[in-house]
Structures are given as structure tokens and as C-alpha cells.
């Protein structure tokens, strides 16, 4: 049974988050059905097995089997804080009942500073001044405010929210526009990575881009660190992410052998990608029958933003095509689309499901497998 936020309310007051940094789930707790609707994942009309909604914290919330300290949609665990850093009460739906200044993410450990309702978009110099001002004033009892990275911005996106793309009960500063990150595009002195949340906006919807840093953009500051994946090659032709408990196929689907030197990288549409996963599991690919397509946040976690063409560590993932890859996450605002990740320059967007893209398989990592690398 999901535990109430109230039991931990006093313990959270004025204290830093003691949770381990981890990937947030996507907020997508339902699956794409044959009739074009989002349905319960065990509905008979859902025939593509292994979609985003089947796994993770969102699925655990559906089963009423998720312990949370705070509230939020699906598997998110947010605690709203006032200006002093004290938790704000939540109602029976897990939504804040009073005004709040910050949001602590109990999954990632990040603390978000909300923009004021009347705040204007900022250029690069104004954004830097906003960081200095927050560091000086210490809202929510914290002074180490910074610009977020693109993975930080992605971490709170809610792919189950077809309208705002984020939980507006907590992130009351949600708005249309590209949110500024601290990440420059490699090789460019002027382009900065940006992220858009709005679900029904055809040019955003959990989509990243690169824009001139001088542009005026919305700003949301963050405190804390979003731990990078701890990737290590195994002797089984896989790459283990110890930080997030994931095991990746070192080879793009279609390639095989030592160093992924053999075979051919395969382009598949979204339904065929799930069929390919089912085939891999049926033949116990690399000794396992629980491979799946990664969700959007899992897939972006192996992007190396310091690299281009491909935007990944090729020592771990050889022969990676610098192109778009499928995730298991449907687009809530347009169910004919699914989210994809670009390993050319490291961006996210959505594409129509009949289109063809590459895929890389993942599975949940079990510690016993890696005792002898």
C-alpha cells in the first residue's frame, strides 16, 4: 500500500534529501492500445508487450505498491517547500495546499527553485545574475543554486501529461517556451541546449534543441547533482550502469560479435521494434529473456553530451549510428508518435510510429551478474 506523505512531514523539515540519486520514471503509467488509445497495460487491446507503462515506479504506483514521502502524478515523488525550506501540506490527492517556493524531487535528490509568476524570460547575462541573486538570498535554506543541465530538465518531465508535460500542481511556474540549460553544444561558443515541456505544442513536447545563448528564455534554477550513470563494460557484451541499475546491449540491434563488428544495424518502425525485443527474449539473447526497449529518460542517460557524431562513448558502445533511436515511451498528446533520442548531437523529440529508427536493448541489472567482470 502506498504510504502517506504525512508520516515523513516533520522529518523532512529543513533537512536535505537523504535519498539516493536515481533516474526518475517518465510519468507514463498506461500503454498504447490497438485502437489508438492509452489503456491499462493489461488491457486485451494492448498487444505490444513491454511498453513504458509496464515498468518502473509508475507501474508500481498503479499496483499501489510504491512508498513515497511526497506527492505528484504517477511514480514521481515531490515535496513542496516554502521560502524557509519547510514542507507544505498536501491534500488527499498529493497536491500542495499552500503556496510554495521550491520543489524537492525525492527520487533524484534535486531541489528546484520556482520562478515567480511575473518573471520574464531572460537572456544569458540576466540568467547569470539570477543565479548570483539566488545564491545570495538563499531561498528554501539553500545557497548553491545553479543553471540546470539538460538531463536535470528532462528528469521532471511528465510524459503522461498531455497538456503541460510537467506536474503543474508542483511546478506552478510551467510555461510554454524553451527552458535554458547550462550545457553548451560541443564545438559551439554560442549554442546552448534547451528543453520544452508543453504537451500540445507541436514544436516542443518533451523535446530538446540548441539555441543561441543570447536568446531570452524561461529559467528554473536547481540545487544538487543529478548523478551521471556509472557505465562499465562487462565480459558478456553488455554495458552495466551501476548508478541506475541497468544493463545495456553494447551493440546496436542487428550488430553482434566482439566489438559489435559483425552484422548490420537495423532500422525498424515502432511496432517492429517491440517484435524485435520479443524475438531476442525468445532466444535468450546474451543469456537473458527480459530485454526491453528503454524509456526516454533511460535512453538519454547514455548520451554523452561532450561528444558529437555519435554522442556516446564509442569505447563502450562501438559502431553506434549517429542517428535517432526508439524509446518505449509514447507521446501522450499524439498517440501516433513516440519519443526518440538522437545520438548525433544528443537531443530528444518525438516521431511517428510508422517511421523507422534504430534501437538498443536494455534490461534491469542484477548485481550477482557482475561479481566477476
The predicted pLDDT at position 22 comes to 86
Could you report the per-residue pLDDT of 316-356, keeping only the tens digit for each? 999 999 999 999 999 988 889 999 999 999 999 999 999 99
The predicted pLDDT at position 323 comes to 98
- Indicate if the pLDDT at residue 12 is higher than 50: no
- Indicate if the pLDDT at residue 300 is higher than 50: yes
pTM of the entire structure? 0.92
7: cell is: 508520516
- Indicate if the pLDDT at residue 288 is higher than 90: yes
**Average pLDDT score over the chain:** 91
- Indicate if the pLDDT at residue 97 is higher than 90: yes
- Indicate if the pLDDT at residue 18 is higher than 90: no
Could you report the per-residue pLDDT of 61-93, keeping only the tens digit for each? 999 999 999 999 999 999 999 999 999 999 999
The predicted pLDDT at position 116 comes to 86
SS3 track for 252-314: CCCEECHHHCEECCCCECHHHHHHHHHHHHHCCHHHCCCCECCCHHHHHCCCCCCCCCCCCCC
The predicted pLDDT at position 117 comes to 78
- Mean pLDDT confidence for 92-109: 97
Vertex 175: Cα angle to 173 and 176 (nearest 5)? 165
- Indicate if the pLDDT at residue 5 is higher than 80: no
372 pLDDT tier (thresholds 50, 70, 90): very low
Q: Is 18 helix (H, G, I), strand (E, B) or coil?
A: coil
Sheet strand arrangement including 207-212: 179-184, 191-196, 207-212
Residues 113, 173: Cα–Cα separation, whole Å: 10
Of 36-45, 121-130, 289-298, the range with the lowest mean pLDDT is 36-45
- Indicate if the pLDDT at residue 367 is higher than 90: no
Could you report the per-residue pLDDT of 172-208, keeping only the tens digit for each? 999 988 999 999 999 999 999 999 998 655 565 669 9
The predicted pLDDT at position 10 comes to 35
Report strand pairing: 207-212 vs 191-196.
Answer: antiparallel
Q: Percent of the chain at pLDDT above 70?
A: 90
- Indicate if the pLDDT at residue 135 is higher than 90: yes
The predicted pLDDT at position 373 comes to 43
- Indicate if the pLDDT at residue 131 is higher than 70: yes
239 pLDDT tier (thresholds 50, 70, 90): very high
For the CA atoms of 108, 150, 355, 50, the dihedral, rounded to the nearest 10 degrees, stands at -10
- Mean pLDDT confidence for 203-227: 89
Could you report the per-residue pLDDT of 245-278, keeping only the tens digit for each? 999 999 999 999 999 999 999 999 999 999 999 9
The predicted pLDDT at position 346 comes to 97
Return the higher-pLDDT residue of 162 and 155: 155
Long-range contact list for 88-92, CB < 8 A, 24+ apart? 89/9, 90/5
The structural domains of the chain, ordered by start, are: 11-223 (no CATH), 231-370 (3.10.100.10)
227 pLDDT tier (thresholds 50, 70, 90): confident
The predicted pLDDT at position 24 comes to 96
Q: For residues 168 and 174, is the Cβ–Cβ distance under 8 A?
A: yes
Amino acid at each position: 500500500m502506498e504510504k502517506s506523505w504525512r508520516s515523513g512531514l516533520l522529518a523532512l523539515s529543513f533537512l536535505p534529501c537523504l535519498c539516493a540519486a536515481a533516474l526518475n520514471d517518465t510519468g507514463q503509467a498506461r500503454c498504447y492500445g490497438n485502437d489508438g488509445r492509452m489503456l491499462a497495460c493489461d488491457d486485451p487491446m494492448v498487444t505490444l508487450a513491454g511498453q513504458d507503462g509496464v515498468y518502473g515506479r509508475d507501474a508500481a504506483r498503479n499496483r499501489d505498491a510504491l512508498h513515497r514521502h511526497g506527492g505528484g502524478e504517477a511514480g514521481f515523488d515531490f515535496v513542496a517547500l516554502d521560502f524557509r525550506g519547510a514542507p507544505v501540506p498536501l491534500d488527499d490527492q498529493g497536491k500542495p495546499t499552500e503556496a510554495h517556493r521550491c520543489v524537492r524531487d525525492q527520487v533524484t535528490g534535486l531541489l528546484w527553485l520556482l520562478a515567480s509568476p511575473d518573471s520574464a524570460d531572460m537572456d544569458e547575462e540576466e540568467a547569470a545574475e539570477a543565479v548570483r541573486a539566488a545564491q545570495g538570498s538563499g531561498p528554501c535554506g539553500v545557497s548553491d543554486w545553479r543553471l540546470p543541465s539538460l538531463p536535470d530538465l528532462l528528469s521532471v518531465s511528465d510524459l503522461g501529461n498531455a497538456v503541460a508535460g510537467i506536474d503543474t500542481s508542483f511546478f506552478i511556474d510551467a510555461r510554454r517556451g524553451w527552458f535554458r540549460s547550462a550545457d553548451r553544444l560541443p564545438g559551439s561558443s554560442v549554442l546552448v541546449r534547451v528543453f520544452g515541456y508543453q504537451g500540445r505544442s507541436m514544436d516542443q513536447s518533451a523535446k530538446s534543441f540548441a539555441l543561441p545563448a543570447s536568446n531570452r528564455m524561461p529559467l528554473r534554477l536547481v540545487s544538487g547533482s543529478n548523478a551521471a550513470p556509472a557505465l562499465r563494460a562487462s565480459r558478456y557484451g553488455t554495458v552495466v550502469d551501476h548508478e541506475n541499475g541497468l544493463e545495456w546491449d553494447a551493440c546496436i540491434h542487428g550488430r553482434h560479435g566482439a566489438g559489435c563488428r559483425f552484422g548490420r544495424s537495423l532500422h525498424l518502425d515502432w511496432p517492429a521494434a517491440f517484435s524485435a525485443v520479443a524475438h531476442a527474449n525468445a532466444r535468450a539473447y546474451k543469456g537473458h529473456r527480459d530485454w526491453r526497449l528503454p524509456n526516454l529518460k533511460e535512453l538519454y542517460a547514455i548520451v554523452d553530451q561532450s561528444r558529437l557524431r555519435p554522442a556516446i562513448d564509442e569505447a563502450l558502445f562501438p559502431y553506434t549510428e549517429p542517428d535517432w533511436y526508439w524509446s518505449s515511451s509514447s507521446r501522450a498528446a499524439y498517440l501516433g508518435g513516440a519519443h526518440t533520442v538522437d545520438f548525433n548531437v544528443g537531443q530528444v523529440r518525438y516521431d511517428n510510429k510508422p517511421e523507422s529508427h534504430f534501437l538498443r536493448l536494455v534490461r534491469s541489472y542484477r548485481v550477482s551478474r557482475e561479481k566477476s567482470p
